[in-house]
Structure 1
């Protein structure tokens, strides 16, 4: 099992290395900068803590920072909201031994399936823990892949993105989309550090994908709330889809992703063509 203190230390080191010294607002001290990003003492200064205290955090010592200290360190590291959430998750995991996470099967409500079916020209996915694909409507299966035809253990967005040749051929911006998937999985793993299924997935991807190993080691996190994807679809050709993410107040571990296209654009025409192409044929009377 991963040591949560080491995970916290690794994240702090990598976030510090990514901090731009010119944007930190620190006075020049005339010293030659031999490290990427900021020095430990500079982060400590910006956060208002001692250099010794911050150094011990980066060394993975078994100390638990308070919420106020975490907020100060997050500001010093210039973390975005996803980074702040991940920092809090890692600190919470390091705070005390927690019960081993129970492996439970996530279920999609019948009403949500009905909602997916009403979206006749908009692809839509429901993702759960560790980016598992819990549901997909007809348009999502046509635009991406038919996840329901995959074995249950393979119905995972990050796994499909990293290991499927179909995904590599489909996404014109595959590297960015795959990296986003890895960083989303990193964020989720921080919330449930003891989840055995997450450990299995990370182990499988680490063995099978050199890109995953590299991006996972960088310890970046990403919160996918909206954005765009560029595709070269085998049926309708190139198109750009925008997506919005909707979460549910009653179940924060499930999220609905809806994909749309700009009005009057070639992408909108391509999406309508795909909807027509995949429309079920009505049974006509003999």
Structure 2
């Protein structure tokens, strides 16, 4: 069933688990996510970045995700990930997204508040929930790049002000993660997370979680993270399986015999994340 993001995350916030938000840009990735959710009886968020929309086309991606989600027996939300362009956010609202992220985190705090507040007003009027970000997540994801030098931990007082003034439904905070593959083991600021959760008492989001050790994820969830974004791990599973198939069978040409096993590899990653996040069995 297709639901809003806050439908999923308010329950996660109340009961102390996290819902995985898995990036897609085509049919096979979406199938892997939804099938994993069905098998694990887990809620799931299928999210699309601006780059994913450009690759797949907003109408096509909307049709794929909404069709699979509406047929699913578990709750699925369709989310825009890192919406930096106001016009794209509006297009997603028109094409049936049930959750959007307005990412104005590169702007000064007051400007971020004003931009986000406007999106919240419009989206809430359409029954759609909104995510925003304060602080910067290091690394690169599609057209959003933040260097390690630029990356700044979220200030708890600023997070409280931001949440109160914008009316945002869930907030992405920076506690030491990064987009893309890690060069070393990330060190998360759990004390900062605990402080922010206590002050805001709302669903919090962790971006750049691919590659973060399982024990760190478990602790982050226990301290109040309720939405965890996963993209790189899925891509790496796809490409590893693809290389293996092509290396072993030089004459294979049927896309179904190539993409089918790749889908299963991605599905396994998603299922394992659902177990780790504590969402399995909660659909």
Answer with 1 or 2: which has the greater Rg. Answer: 1
TM-score (norm 2): 0.25
Higher strand share: 2
Greater relative contact order (Cα 8 A, min sep 6): structure 1 or 2? 2
TM-score, with normalisation over the residues of structure 1?
A: 0.25
